[in-house]
Chain A
């Protein structure tokens, strides 16, 4: 058997996996910190994709640089969503909180998707940069620039988030709140503000993921559900709430999908992830990297 196509496939799996990772990290953060299961995460990714698409189309700003705009933009939108909607569920018990946030964000998905159709039509769009399609080859394996840059950006974001959570005061407040919000509140941490910041960071990460999706995939109003499922699969593989775990689980899923093509063919790529997801939920509910 010729190993070159396999290696090429694995390399692409790695790139895709990085994208899965960054798509899942925000969801994992929000779930881990405030037990809010935001199934509108995929729709936020879609919004981020559109934001960077329009910034690129109108102002000609490179999508990778535009992350400096889309990130804060989505951060602000996350604050609006938190104070407008998700603030109300944080008063509930944990189980009720998860259920109600799932329902609310389901309603939000419908709203976001259809507002996007109204504003930007249902057409599929992609960000085509001047260097799209160019790349370098090592051996006989191609490395397209946009994919390499996407993986690097994703990795930088995740490591920056990790540093933020472990090194800064605000980050430690977020982790303390996620472990025990009552105790954190007694230590003088403003729990509501911490929740708001964590939710906004999660939304910003979705925005960045969306920008990367726009460069290497397609954006359309309807991509939300598929990306939500993808992010959920990764989050469950990693264990709910594990940040670094989510990134590595994303990479793992990308590689697994790439390999599954040889067994089941390309049309079943999505099915492999979904079935893997249900199996992990059944067999190892705490996730591959989770501890319980």
Chain B
């Protein structure tokens, strides 16, 4: 019995070691090939949104899931990234890829200052303090830039969906890879220690502020790049819209529903969020918000690991039933 159980387990582990990279490469290759097989704009637009949301969720997840800081001002980084990239690209004629990178970097520099102020607040005070600052910024942007922002005519004439698709896909893979590598680095030990107990971490010689700032810098870099991607994708929008708290709230929902503090969680959560939203949007306008609100409450109360945990629980249940 024991020997056969052991053999089974070894076989299973060998299988998962092969299966995981196989599944990941299958999905990545499939995602890369989608534009070759379809030119349906609705499919590409939907997938673009899925990638954008995964990237936003992933970036929020870095600070919330690994450093334990609930940042409700995340939209500010998205907005700063979008504003920087759009401004450099369309007004200053900087090559797009450079403008794109600057979007992430400027958001990161902004986030460092943002963090130096807000990290003086702890726990829930940090959460509401960041929300207040981001809202103040949104109102200020709405006052200073009240006009709709549009791509110049020649750019619209040359507009193609495919590069947008690949940019978003690349960003998502980059973000997921970063979150996958993060726990395997030395600095993450400090970040995780701060999440578990800030006082104990400090007593062990880990500087909480520095580690929180590192997590925030990474988080805001990807949020800024997501904003830059949005600025590349959308033909026209109000600048204040990119600073709207909706970007934060959707990232929070996607991360929690998928599974906070994991790589897979934001991927599952982001895809689930967009696909369910599109499904429900066909029938009625904002029903998805009710659905996600309820689901979010259920996750917080009963399933802190989100859909990822639900999946593992289900699998364990099936395994037990099959024995």
B side interface size, CB within 8 A:
37
Q: Are B300 and A278 in contact (CB under 8 A)?
A: no
B-side contacts of A219, CB under 8 Å: none
Give the complex CA separation of A229 and B73 in angstroms: 13
A30 to chain B, nearest CB (A): 14
Contact with B along A207-247 (1 / 0, CB 8 A): 00000000000000000010001001100100000000000
User: Shortest distance in angstroms between B304's beta carbon and chain A's nearest beta carbon?
Assistant: 9
Q: Which chain A residues lie closer than 8 Å to B135 at the CB level?
A: 229, 270, 274
Shortest distance from the beta carbon of A130 to any chain B beta carbon, whole Å: 35
Q: If A106-B249, A117-B286 touch, does A98 touch B143 (CB 8 Å cutoff)?
A: no
**A274→B121 contact, CB < 8 A:** no
Report chain B residues within 8 Å CB of A104: 297, 300-301
Contacts of B287 in A (CB 8 A): 114, 118
Which of B131, B133, B245, B300 has the most A CB atoms < 10 Å from its CB? B300
Which of B213-221, B288-296, B306-314 lies at the interface with chain A? Answer: B288-296
B289 touches A268 (CB 8 A): no
Find chain A residues with CB under 8 A from B124 CB.
Answer: 37, 95, 98-99, 102
B-facing mask of A272-288, CB < 8 A → 1, else 0?
Answer: 00110110011001000
How long is the Cα–Cα vector from A229 to B294 in the complex, in angstroms?
22
The B-contacting residues of A in range 90-147, CB under 8 angstroms, are 95, 98-100, 102-104, 106-111, 113-115, 117-118
In the bound complex, do residue A109 and residue B123 qualify as a contact, i.e. CB atoms below 8 Å apart?
Answer: no
Q: Determine if B132 and A107 form an interchain contact, defined as CB atoms under 8 angstroms apart.
A: no
Tell me whether A159 is interfacial, beta carbon within 8 Å: no
Query: In the complex the two chains form, is B121's CB within 8 Å of A107's CB?
Result: no
CB atoms of A225 and B245 under 8 A apart: yes
A111 touches B125 (CB 8 A): no
For residue B290, which residues in chain A have a CB less than 8 angstroms away from its CB? 110-111, 114-115, 118
Say whether B296 contacts A278, CB under 8 Å: no
Q: Are B300 and A107 in contact (CB under 8 A)?
A: yes
A85 interfacial by beta-carbon distance below 8 Å = yes
Instruction: From the candidates B129, B132, B296, B301, name the one contacting A88 in the complex (CB within 8 A).
Output: B301
Given A88-B301, A107-B300, A110-B293: A278 touches B139 (CB 8 Å cut-off): no
Q: Say what secondary structure dominates the interface of chain A.
A: helix
In this complex, how many residues of chain A approach chain B with their Cβ under 8 Å: the count is 38
User: Are B143 and A281 in contact, with the CB atoms below 8 A?
Assistant: no
Please state if A232 and B136 are interface contacts (CB–CB under 8 Å): no
A117, B288: Cα distance in complex, Å: 12
Question: When chains A and B are docked, how far (Å) is the Cα of A233 from the Cα of B143?
Answer: 21
Residues 26-49 (chain A) with a chain B CB within 8 angstroms: 37, 39
B contact residues around A168 at 8 Å (CB): none
A106 and B131 alpha carbons, distance in the complex (Å): 12
Contact: A268 with B140, CB < 8 Å? Answer: yes
Q: Which of A142-194 contact B (CB under 8 A)?
A: none
Shortest C-beta distance, B113 to chain A (Å), equals 13
Task: Please tell me if B128 contacts chain A, counting CB pairs below 8 Å.
Answer: yes
Given contacts A104-B297, A107-B296, A274-B132, contact A281 B127 (CB under 8 A): no
Known: A106-B296, A229-B132, A268-B143. 8 other contacts (CB 8 A): A37-B128, A98-B124, A107-B292, A114-B290, A115-B290, A270-B135, A270-B139, A275-B133
Give residues in B with beta carbon < 8 Å to A: 70, 117-118, 120-121, 123-125, 127-129, 131-133, 135-136, 139-140, 143, 245, 249, 252-253, 256, 284-287, 289-290, 292-294, 296-297, 300-301
